[in-house]
Structure 1
Amino acid sequence: NYSSSDSIYRVYAELELIISNSLLRMYKDIANGRSSPIKVYGYTYMLPRNNWKSMKFYDFLNEPNKIGMIEEIHKNDTTYQELQKLLKLYQHRKKIEISSSIDFGDYPKLALGDSAPVIGKLITKLKQRNMPDSSVRSLQNTNVFTKELDRIIKIIQAKNNLTPDGIMGYKTYKIVNTTHTNKIDQVKANMERQRWFTKPQEKPYVYINLPQYIVEMHGPDSGMEMKVCIGKNLPDNYDAMVKEYSDSGWLYKLPKNMETPQIASEITYAVLNPTWTVPNSIVTREMWPMLLSEPHYLRKNGYKVTHNGKEINSDTIKWSRMSKTSIPYKIVEQPGPNNSLGTVKFLFSNPFFIYLHDTPSKAAFEKTQRAVSHGCVRLEKPQEFGEFLMQNSTKYDADDFRVMMGYPPRDTARLKKWDPKDSTATIRKITKTANVNLNKPMPLYLDYRTLYYDRNWQLHFAYDIYDQNRLILKEMDRM
């Protein structure tokens, strides 16, 4: 409110200040993000803000076409441009959306052969939304879960990175009930991530999109990828477990967060035939019952025990006489085919003791959802990953690494001369624990995207296994 004595120029000045501040805020938000990843994730977010745009505020304020300058910010970022198009598409579809959510509350699971009125509603909704594509229109209107519906559901599950088993449960229900408002939110969350961080231009580097469960190896001239397993998501009662720990004060009740964090680092070396020092959290939460019930468990399963640096006979330890909250021993799994880290691990600097490694548990790679580890990343084909890294070694090449791992060389000339039993060869299979260093560290990025494009610019959805979209949207709304 202004009195009659207020100068019209003062009014204009304050209006200009309000408009300028709003435009500056828009400029900053679109360039570098409306929210801060540190405020969203805290110390578990370690990706660089390598696309941080320097804010030329003075130039911006003096630019007549400010909106045009804002639109220029991400003009060379194809991923961002595609997400913008997707956002406009979903905003348009939201205006004409007519379907409502289906209540699946009485049906924890639905599968082939089941019969229920809700199945008829499901078929109607799939047709309304053209899910997964136009082939859904041929579905018969029925209350029975037919073979054709089973086929349709499997396609929907596969497109959303879920196990395509045709069995409908919580995750599939959530996808079917997804509205265009939900999709708009998903695009907004991933656009925010793109403002924070983009893949580097310089190669080679290694990139892992955690909810995709894939590692990409980007070389100067080519690339390859393989499956990975990542850390388990938090249990539904995690907050209650934290409260129980807080109320009790007992350290062993502190629930472990096994979610793999977002990291930027550099792989510096590999360890062949690694040992594994079992973390106390795993000893107390997982091994303790076996230690109490089977006195010879550690020896039989390839573990050694030390106390103050000296090895002791694990068979003589009276585990029942001590508290699991104060175990004075270090338990180390010895190298071998059944070692939890497999035959090789790859190390990079980070405060979470996370690394990439082989595993004897290969069956997990057959799953679609592969959040199964304690936080480290398991590699489907570690020997091929090591071959890729050797481009940053001046001492070894890819075939050297294969031979050291016990595989035949790929080079045909070398293969003719290769003798796996030759113990005098300069490069031969290594049977003891040994380091293989890189002269030039290999850049590594562990990212989290629930929308992503493949090399052919096909859109893919990934199930938000760590429920992180919600955290970003909450912080964006708060700002």
Structure 2
Amino acid sequence: MLSTGTAQAQTATIGTVARPADTVVAIDQRDVTNPGLRTLYAKSKWRALWSADSTAALESALADRGRHGLDRLTFEIAASPGASAAAMDVARSQAALDYAEALANGRVDPASLHEVYTVPRPKTDVVAGLGGALATGRLDEWLQSLAPQDAEYRTLSDAYVRLSRAAAAAGPVSPIAGGLIRVGDRDARVAVIADQLMESGYLPATTAATSADAAQASVSPSPQPLIYTQALADALKGLQKDYGIAADGVVGPETLKVLNLGAGDRARALAVALERRRWLARTPPATRIDVNTAAAQLRYYRNGTMADERKVVVGEPGHETPALGSPIFRLVANPTWTVPKSIQNGEMANVDDAYLQAHNMVLRDGWIVQQPGPDNALGLVKFDMANDQAIYLHDTSAPALFDRSQRHLSHGCVRVEDALGFAQMLADDEGVADAWQAAQASGETTFVPLPNRIPVRLLYHNVYVGEDGTVAFRTDPYGWNDAVAEQLGFAKASARRAEALAIDVGP
């Protein structure tokens, strides 16, 4: 049984009952209500499963659960004081099963949070695994094997431990308030801002030491007004870019919201990041496309190696890009765009014939259809995906949007930067380059099937590891983190989110 603990809950107590080593403890079937545990004990002929070594291994594993961002949950032994050896055995089994499930498949069921969630999940039989681990005396090894074993998970785990400790040591932090700060301004807040930038890794100590003001700011907050230097502005631009804010180096309201996120806020985001990765299958397809909708970024992996990375535009709040696992099965050259009824009856409800003509659109059986061409909302290529949500990747007639830091601007589909170049890359890799080039040149809507479907995962990871191996933070544009964090034992927070900007009526 799981219950939410406090922020300081770092250990779990496993009760022990002394008994002679050769004593066989019988389990009363009436005391075992969990179906999985009933299966486990039935295989043991209703005999106790736990040795002293296994009990110690469970105690050690639970004490170290902070490495997985699970330290705010208490995995309790649900047995009354003075419980029998048999009752304690069942209680240990239940606690171990709960913890194993959290490591192997996640504490939170993403399907309970999202109307649509089809990203492939792990398929780990923790009941059978627990039975085998107890029978062989290898519980510690088995528990350690359940969480993701990749380098990204380890990096996020290390960052969570570090920031959790920093948050505990720092205590409450007074928020930075006030108006704009530009290069050359003197302001008492500059010292605190410099301190935050250094703590977050945006301002190297060597850079800070190049000016007296920055050096003073790096030592400790000071009530004296300090100059906001170009070096500080350049460091701030890195933070602004990471959090999807216009990277102008000016300290404004949106930037202050991020600067006021302390170590505890970042630790909270990391705990959610670890949980989201536990939802994923441990061995993803070697050739795949991962779209990080929180960061508006696409990565293409070919035979286990990242072959390409590029920007994307994804759904705005209210038209969120769903968490889908869905393959690309064909390329469409010179696509038409059939306007969804939600748009036709919404933003385009009052358009006239002149509007349709100006945008190369026609009415066809009651639907508005935009004809092929460079001004088509889908651009010159569509990457057809097999799903029932009408979600796909495509080109765009508005490439300037890729220059924005905040790219949550579409109606749910994914617009790909230099989509023609990406389509050519896929066509080359899949051996259909000649067919693709002929389709493009035709000027007509032409379908080019791929000999192998390419899996696409639409993921929501607002904390991830960049190509340089460092942890990158983004905002929570859809506000999806709170529901996860609260089930991990964290308090509700008000993180900065993207705002719907209604840039255009494209998909």
TM-score by length of 1: 0.75
Given the alignment, which residue of 319, 324, 345 partners 1:284? 345
Preserved contact between residue 315 and residue 411 of structure 2 (Cα < 8 Å): yes
Secondary structure in 2 matching 1:189: helix
Preserved contact between residue 210 and residue 446 of structure 1 (Cα < 8 Å): yes
Deviation digits for residues 235-262 of structure 1 (CA, Å, limit 9, x no counterpart)? xxxxxxxxxxxxxxxxxxxxxx311011
> Structure 1 residues 345 and 117 mapped into 2: Cα distance closer, same or farther (>3 Å)?
same
> Structure 1 residues 72 and 336 mapped into 2: Cα distance closer, same or farther (>3 Å)?
closer
Q: Distance in 2 between matches of 1:228 and 1:125?
A: 30
Given the alignment, which residue of 351, 359, 362 partners 1:301? 359
Instruction: Specify every segment of 5 or more residues in structure 1 that has no aligned partner in the other structure, as ranges.
Output: 1-7, 234-256, 310-328, 406-428
**Pair 1:354 & 2:391 matched:** yes
Instruction: Specify every segment of 5 or more residues in structure 2 that has no aligned partner in the other structure, as ranges.
Output: 1-80, 218-224, 491-507
**Pair 1:35 & 2:70 matched:** no
Q: Distance in 2 between matches of 1:124 and 1:265?
A: 44
Deviation at 1:125, TM superposition (A): 4.9
Q: Distance in 2 between matches of 1:191 and 1:442?
A: 26
Deviation at 1:174, TM superposition (A): 2.6
Deviation at 1:212, TM superposition (A): 2.1
Secondary structure in 1 matching 2:246: coil
- Counterpart of 2:161 in structure 1 is 88
Deviation at 1:462, TM superposition (A): 2.3
Range that drifts further, 83-92 or 357-366: 83-92
Deviation digits for residues 202-236 of structure 1 (CA, Å, limit 9, x no counterpart)? 43211111122221111126611221110112xxx
Preserved contact between residue 51 and residue 196 of structure 1 (Cα < 8 Å): no
> Structure 1 residues 369 and 129 mapped into 2: Cα distance closer, same or farther (>3 Å)?
closer
- Counterpart of 2:220 in structure 1 is none
Amino acid at match of 1:225: E
Q: 1:186-197, aligned counterparts within 5 Å?
A: 186-197=269-280
Deviation digits for residues 123-179 of structure 1 (CA, Å, limit 9, x no counterpart)? 455567665332345416625544343223113223445432113344422321112
Given the alignment, which residue of 62, 72, 81 partners 2:135? 62
Given the alignment, which residue of 433, 442, 461 partners 1:430? 442
- Counterpart of 1:155 in structure 2 is 238
Secondary structure in 2 matching 1:46: coil
**Pair 1:229 & 2:287 matched:** no
Given the alignment, which residue of 335, 343, 350 partners 2:372? 335
Q: How many residues align?
A: 396
Q: Distance in 1 between matches of 2:143 and 2:261?
A: 31
**Pair 1:208 & 2:291 matched:** yes
Identity %: 26
Deviation at 1:347, TM superposition (A): 0.8
Preserved contact between residue 206 and residue 443 of structure 1 (Cα < 8 Å): yes
- Counterpart of 2:425 in structure 1 is 388
> Structure 1 residues 350 and 170 mapped into 2: Cα distance closer, same or farther (>3 Å)?
farther
Deviation at 1:74, TM superposition (A): 3.5
> Structure 1 residues 50 and 70 mapped into 2: Cα distance closer, same or farther (>3 Å)?
closer
Q: Distance in 2 between matches of 1:390 and 1:126?
A: 44
What is the root-mean-square deviation in Å for CA atoms of aligned residues?
2.8
Q: Distance in 2 between matches of 1:209 and 1:290?
A: 34
- Counterpart of 2:48 in structure 1 is none
> Structure 1 residues 363 and 129 mapped into 2: Cα distance closer, same or farther (>3 Å)?
closer
> Structure 1 residues 111 and 431 mapped into 2: Cα distance closer, same or farther (>3 Å)?
same
- Counterpart of 1:442 in structure 2 is 454
TM-score by length of 2: 0.71
Deviation at 1:83, TM superposition (A): 2.1
Range that drifts further, 52-61 or 364-373: 52-61
- Counterpart of 2:34 in structure 1 is none
**Pair 1:376 & 2:413 matched:** yes
**Pair 1:133 & 2:194 matched:** no
Q: Distance in 2 between matches of 1:195 and 1:52?
A: 11
Preserved contact between residue 298 and residue 312 of structure 2 (Cα < 8 Å): yes
- Counterpart of 2:14 in structure 1 is none
